[in-house]
Structure 1
């Protein structure tokens, strides 16, 4: 028996006994209510909210598999519901705004809108510099604004929520930036394959770090006079880069600019990062889109040619939303999906190498500690889902069978609002 889409499931009357004994039967209205609740909780749920999402998925997994028509209809339905979510409070107005306008204690989540606001060709999030006690969205808007307009991109220039040395990754700012992207996609109906990050100084650090942690979201990254966090030994010598950066960037366009005489951000960290990319490329392949550009004599100023020429280096980049091979080193508990991998309980710092092998209709994984809740996400076309799919972990077969399309899988990934990261089938590798 095949499951019909939301608009034609009135005949469904499957019962469910799950984590909550009080759950009513899964008729049409109940399915719709569960889907809406899951989407409302969002893609970055934690704690009890993530627990509730898991309950909803367990409930929906009791439904039959989807046929091709039902899958298509559900994909359209889920995207339509997602697009009905919150937009930017600024709507399509340029200038300064706040994401949260009505809060006890005042407005919060400052951002500036610039560039092309009517049918933009892409979106760039431009991150300002600063540090402890300093940082202003206006600085990034001033530095990058004309370059963004010249490319006919929409520019959003956020301001960190708390002005610290690592402002782009602390105090909820990372989630704030991602929420701005989601709302901008809804407000301007943006192409998800043309969304970019850029920044100067601390904004360069933010570009490296947010760009890597969420590499499956970006078409290109441009980091100027800013570096990822280095690992430092007892003698103060840099010997590597913090978790969650270098491995994740295998399939993403990244241009890094550094002046060798920069007194505020010396070149050491970026030179180490460049060397680490070289090692990663030798080990895993990829990184064709990485470019390290170092000059001398420019201090902490903009790159030679200005930020317009700098953005030109990523201007033609498009996101590869479904690469055949990827490497993932998670660091965030709430970043559970990375391209076509899903990890309910990510192990921070663990490196997973995953490769699709269509000729063998299999997925090959390499990892030391997968822990619990690790799965492969699939669509027909990545592999032939009409045949048995094989998953190998460290050369050992851990799954052989059908990967069938379900509403639960579509909802799990459709909560991103990203058609290219929405998958119909899910193969569980670890419980």
Structure 2
């Protein structure tokens, strides 16, 4: 129907009918526009922000449907690029290679399989020594896995440096591995777990907080935290296992420090810094697999991709988005902290602290009522009460960034200088 006739129709039919007609036209245009856009090869697609249909307002039901459609397209693109590498068990990114081993155990649950990313020890040593550690990690927990379900995936670090599991490229490798496991092995993105031993434990200390929005839980075995902070572990259950006699690099004393830190954080915010810390008496660096109890402990937890309270402490490996928050690249500060919470009952968001002059609030219908005004506050002071608009463009941008359907957001509000709010 030509939208130019709508004013004439309004003279002869009820306005509620006009609203329905307008909604159907928008829906039809969005559906047709999206399908035509998706039908083109990626190299021939115009930027979605240039397409009028991408900015059209959507209903809740439309947003859900388009999220599913865009996610399936994203998966297809990931598989076109990486499935051959998955099949050959060697992922390639930016000139680096990450071989990996995986096995599937147990029957697949109705809600999808679990994924365990298991990081080997070693570090700044000969490649052959790290290869041996990699081979060891492949089957380290076979006995424990017999009573479990899931995909157990042990990657081989792309480098042989002391910080082999927390170099900047690791985050991108793991993001891609997770997306491939979801697409090819029926993994539930809310059941992804991280664990590692020795140098692999060093990596868990670092990656668990800086990639917290990916994990359902994490387990650190016999590693060292170096300079990292546990603040980002809010909402990520964290197991820490250490031989009580493991004194090299002060690993045991650091484990005791982290127990006190985690106890304090949990006491201040009960239920948000869940943890299991065990120092195994009489044992050194090798814990004789007593640490294996961490795997069934992790399996009892699920990721909440939209927690009501977030603490985001920016690592020196920068991330532009974290759960339902975003900061422009040029605004990111290493060590910068953002504390934000939302309240579904009051349909509001309260920014408790924020270092960035631009803070993106990514919203979906599982968080707040997007059809009602949303109140945005800074330290309790109301900045705005705004109605938001769902759009294809916002959904596409969030899916493109992380490829995770549970981290897809149809609405974005931007807080400027902690004083005003823009859509």
Which category describes the TM-score, using the shorter chain as reference length? 0.7 to 0.9
- In structure 2, relative to structure 1, the CA distance for the partners of 1:321 and 1:69 (3 Å cut) is closer
**Structure 1: runs of 5+ lacking an equivalent:** 11-26, 41-51, 231-241
- In structure 2, relative to structure 1, the CA distance for the partners of 1:61 and 1:272 (3 Å cut) is farther
CA drift at 1:271: 2.0
In the alignment, which of 382, 396, 411 is matched to residue 367 of structure 2?
382
In the alignment, which of 409, 412, 419 is matched to residue 397 of structure 2?
412
- In structure 2, relative to structure 1, the CA distance for the partners of 1:118 and 1:334 (3 Å cut) is farther
CA drift at 1:284: 4.4
Distance of 1:338 and 1:61 partners within structure 2: 28
Moved more, 310-319 or 329-338: 329-338
CA drift at 1:310: 3.0
CA drift at 1:121: 2.9
- Which residue is 2:414 aligned to? 428
Moved more, 110-119 or 77-86: 110-119
- In structure 2, relative to structure 1, the CA distance for the partners of 1:66 and 1:209 (3 Å cut) is same
- In structure 2, relative to structure 1, the CA distance for the partners of 1:61 and 1:260 (3 Å cut) is farther
**Is residue 2:285 matched to residue 1:300?**
yes
**Is residue 2:62 matched to residue 1:70?**
yes
- Which residue is 1:142 aligned to? 139
CA drift at 1:332: 5.5
- Which residue is 1:187 aligned to? 184
Distance of 2:277 and 2:43 partners within structure 1: 44
Q: Say whether the 8 Å CA contact 1:259–1:300 is kept in structure 2.
A: yes
In the alignment, which of 93, 101, 105 is matched to residue 112 of structure 1?
101
RMSD: 3.1
Q: Say whether the 8 Å CA contact 2:243–2:287 is kept in structure 1.
A: no
**Is residue 2:383 matched to residue 1:398?**
yes
Distance of 1:428 and 1:33 partners within structure 2: 32
Distance of 1:323 and 1:352 partners within structure 2: 14
CA drift at 1:281: 3.2
Instruction: Give 1 or 2: higher helix fraction.
Output: 2
CA drift at 1:427: 1.2
Scaled by the length of structure 2, the TM-score of the pair is 0.80
- In structure 2, relative to structure 1, the CA distance for the partners of 1:142 and 1:323 (3 Å cut) is same
**Is residue 2:32 matched to residue 1:9?**
yes
Distance of 1:424 and 1:360 partners within structure 2: 20
1:343-382 correspondence runs (5 A): 343-345=327-329, 346-372=332-358, 374-382=359-367
Q: Which structure would you say has the larger Rg?
A: 2
Q: Say whether the 8 Å CA contact 1:115–1:149 is kept in structure 2.
A: no
- In structure 2, relative to structure 1, the CA distance for the partners of 1:79 and 1:149 (3 Å cut) is farther
- In structure 2, relative to structure 1, the CA distance for the partners of 1:178 and 1:66 (3 Å cut) is same
- Which residue is 2:272 aligned to? 287
CA drift at 1:207: 1.6
Distance of 2:316 and 2:51 partners within structure 1: 26
Q: Say whether the 8 Å CA contact 1:387–1:402 is kept in structure 2.
A: yes
- In structure 2, relative to structure 1, the CA distance for the partners of 1:205 and 1:299 (3 Å cut) is same
Give the paired residue count. Answer: 379
Distance of 1:297 and 1:356 partners within structure 2: 46
**Is residue 2:333 matched to residue 1:338?**
no
CA drift at 1:31: 7.5
